[in-house]
Structure 1
Amino acid sequence: MLTAKDFIPAAYSQTIESGEYQWSAPSNIALVKYWGKKDNQIPANPSVSFTLSNCKTITKLAFAKKENKDSLSFDLLFEGQPKEDFKPKIQKFLERIEVYLPFLKEYHFTIDTQNTFPHSSGIASSASGMAALAMNFISLEKALNPAMTDAYFYQKASLLARLGSGSACRSVKGQVVVWGKQANIEGSTDLYGVEFPNEIHANFKNYQDTILLVDKGEKQVSSTVGHDLMHNHPYASSRFAQAHENLDALKAIFKSGDLDAFIKIVESEALTLHAMMMTSMPYFILMKPNTLQIINTIWKFRNETQIPVCFTLDAGANVHVLYPENVTEKVLQFIKDELVGYCQNGQYICDEIGNGAILL
């Protein structure tokens, strides 16, 4: 198994004066949630997610050699306009990854990034954004070191993405991604995300995720602060054990295609995540009244129709409505008839399982 030291490169065989790359990377939605982390963005528990398809960040990285090699230097554009308030996060990211990419101070970078979904809509833009940025940097490193294997390329990209935003490491590859060491999942590691290596039943192919935008405002508590509050949390150790158990259970469910069992775990995980927030000190609530209305309406609809639709939540108020592809028509009609009224300005986004980052 690779260690972090294995990702620190020796001398490069090539030199490059300037150039550019452009990658898109999708968001992802965790089924088993990660909440709480150790030093260096190491997760306190393993997680598994569906990689999405339509909700993505597209990032262009232009680079040119510079005279002064004493400091990191970059310009940041968001949708073509300078975006100063994103810069500290990128600066911190570059400082964290410099040990793995020793060429960073040799270039001036221009990072031009855009999302296909509203920023701060509660869709994990840090995951897609950091994954897209990591793909660009690793592409430059591969040009400097053409001997790099494909497997190493994606592992290191995921490791770099993790240092920008933990869940970003699950946005590099597709469909179902595990991050965090789990005894019975081969290749799983705290360092980077891996494609789920076991059998996945046809029920979970092309799984749909319709994201109901309940509240598009800034969250009152950032995920970083929320993760930190797990350090002295009275229920932390039980929660971490529960995540391991649920991931074990999901492994069997992915094989059998048991949608009822899938729903129980996914909804329980979403509610547990928010229960951890409500029972930390200080405590906080990210759900809104409309989040609860949607959840209750989904439960009622599922009871009455036996259609296997369920919800999950990220660290925010928005609701991800998950369902198999073969019930798409009925569920979308239900969303239009009964759930759109609970969305801010009636907005929702239709998405589905996707394949990870793409070079454009």
Structure 2
Amino acid sequence: MKATAKAHPIQGLIKYHGMRDEERRLPYHDSISVCTAPSHTKTTVEFRPDADEDVYLIGGEPVEGRGAERIEAVVDHVRGLAGFDHAVRLESENSFPSNIGFGSSSSGFAAAAMALAEAADLGLSRPDVSTIARRGSSSAARAVTGAFSHLYSGMNDEDCRSKRIETDLEDDLRIVAAHVPAYKETEEAHREAAESHMFQARMAHVHHQIDSMRDALFEADFDRAFELAEHDSLSLTATTMTGPAGWVYWQPETIAVFNAVRELREDEEIPVYFSTDTGASVYVNTTAEHVELVESAVADVGVDTDVWSVGGPAEILSESEALF
């Protein structure tokens, strides 16, 4: 009753914001994302019938407080599906920095859900597993199905699940990750989202954004898809900043990256667009042909960079790759 899984984090393209059901983490509206590779989370889980309590470790450190509660919600759901109450040991590690806006919760809960479902021998499809991962993080549902994926909203697991979107953009997309290490608290921002006076304005246009993004992906229209993602980042941030806490995640380096991207696009006609999730770090989306030039321009801002491509779905790894 042991399994190891790997999942890639997501970059939100049309992002969800706010939850109408916090326990099941049901979002107010649909969302679309793309997974980034080789960045990943690896997780090993083992159900232990003779153990007295659960053990959760991330990066070798015990998880406590709200983090442990979120993991427990996923573990308990799997135990309920499997029909047993065995204690579990869960160990996880990331290949990239967490809590700076690069989607570590998405890959973390996707890998956990995939490994838990395998260890419990549930025999589920990835869309099925996405409903398990969603209980830890709504974004994790899309990390389970991988690549470009669409999480549908709904009030139950049959409706609120993720499905992959096939598109020819998978091979050509390159993402320059601009690291701006400012800690952020995504969960609290989601909790108060509906209290922003901008939230209803976002709800009024997000459904059209979803339809437009799906169409751009089907047509493999790079500029239209990532222009939409850039504008959605601005919309999300406007809603976040106008909530009760007035969250402002962007840092001076964030704005400097935006300006560098716009200069490349306007002065040199390079296909390049910025995107942010809830954090200060920036995804800079471009094509394989132009990625070296773009990375150089972003690095000149004075931030650390990585170059990522599209990551696939969560997967089960061999026993030899287990963390314990």
Q: Same fold (TM over 0.5)?
A: yes
Q: Percent identity?
A: 22
Q: 1:356 corresponds to which residue?
A: 313
Matched, 1:212 2:169: no
Which of 71, 80, 87 is equivalent to 1:93? Answer: 71
Match of 2:11 among 9, 29, 33: 29
2:31 to 41, 47, 57: 47
| CA gap 1:296/1:157 in 2 versus in 1, 3 angstroms | same
CA contact (8 A) 2:196 2:240 kept: no
How many residues in Structure 1 have an aligned counterpart in Structure 2?
312
Identify unmatched segments of 5+ residues in structure 2.
318-324
Match of 2:298 in 1: 339
* 1:234 Cα deviation after fit: 1.5
Moved over 6 A (4+): none
Can you list the C-alpha shifts for 1:35-60, whole angstroms capped at 9, x where unaligned?
Answer: 11111211111110112221110011
The 3 A distance-change label for structure 1 pair 123 and 263 is closer
Contact 1:127–1:171 (CA under 8 A) maintained in structure 2 = yes
Aligned partner of residue 194 in structure 1, secondary structure: strand
Can you list the C-alpha shifts for 1:305-352, whole angstroms capped at 9, x where unaligned? 212111110100101011122x2xx3323322x321434xx4212111
TM-score by length of 1: 0.80
Q: Describe the shift of the 1:107–1:324 C-alpha distance in structure 2 as closer, same or farther (beyond 3 A).
A: same
For 1:153-302, what aligned pairs fall within 5 Å after superposition?
153-181=125-153, 190-196=159-165, 200=167, 202-214=168-180, 216-219=181-184, 222-302=185-265
Instruction: Please give the TM-score of this superposition, normalised by the length of structure 2.
Output: 0.88
Deviation per CA, 1:93-134, whole angstroms, max 9, x where unpaired? 324652553258632322121111123232111111111110
Which amino acid letter does the alignment assign opposite residue 94 of structure 1? E
Query: CA, structure 1 residues 359+99, in 2 after alignment: closer, same or farther (shift >3 Å)?
Result: closer
Q: Give the 3 Å change call, closer, same or farther, for CA 61–67 of structure 1 in structure 2.
A: closer
Q: Is the 8 A contact 1:158 1:192 kept in 2?
A: yes
**How many Å separate the matches in 1 of 2:206 and 2:199?**
11
Cα–Cα, structure 1 residues 238 and 115, in superposed 2: closer, same or farther, change >3 Å? same
Report the CA distance between 1:227 and its aligned residue. Answer: 1.0
Secondary structure in 1 aligned to 2:228?
Answer: helix
**How far apart are the structure 1 equivalents of 2:201 and 2:250?**
23
User: Match for 2:221: what amino acid?
Assistant: D
SS of 1:302's equivalent?
A: helix
Give the conservation status (yes or no) of the 8 Å contact 2:198–2:238: no
User: Which secondary structure does the structure 2 equivalent of 1:106 belong to?
Assistant: coil
Partner of 1:141: 120
Structure 1: stretches of 5+ with no match in the other structure: 1-18, 183-187
Q: Partner of 2:194: helix, strand, or coil?
A: coil
Q: CA deviation at 1:359?
A: 1.1
Q: Is the 8 A contact 1:127 1:165 kept in 2?
A: yes
Separation in structure 1 between the aligned mates of residue 218 and residue 35 of structure 2, nearest angstrom:
18
Contact 1:204 1:254 in 2 (8 A): no
Superposed displacement of residue 255, structure 1 = 2.7
Decide whether aligned partners of structure 1 residues 203 and 171 sit closer, same or farther in structure 2, where only a CA change above 3 A counts.
closer
Distance between the aligned counterparts of 2:147 and 2:73, measured in 1?
Answer: 30
Distance 1:159 1:342 in 2: 40
